Amino acid sequence: MSNNTNTTKKHTLLVPFEDKDNAKIMGCKWDSLNKNWYFIGDLPEELKKYKSYPVHIEYDDKDIFKSKYKSLRWNATKKNWLCNEIDYKAITA
pLDDT for 12-34, tens place per residue? 999 999 999 999 999 999 999 88
Answer whether residue 31 is part of any domain.
yes
Answer whether residue 4 is part of any domain.
no
Answer whether residue 58 is part of any domain.
yes
Answer whether residue 39 is part of any domain.
yes
What pLDDT score does 7 carry?
Answer: 63
Write out the residue range of the structural domain in which residue 63 sits.
10-92
* 6, pLDDT greater than 70: no
What pLDDT score does 77 carry?
Answer: 85
Answer whether residue 5 is part of any domain.
no
In the chain, the number of structural domains is 1
When pLDDT is cut at 50, 70 and 90, the band that residue 2 belongs to is very low
State the SS3 of 34-92: CCEEEEECCCCHHHHHHECEEECCCHHHHHHHHHHCCCCEEECCCCEEEECHHHHHHHH
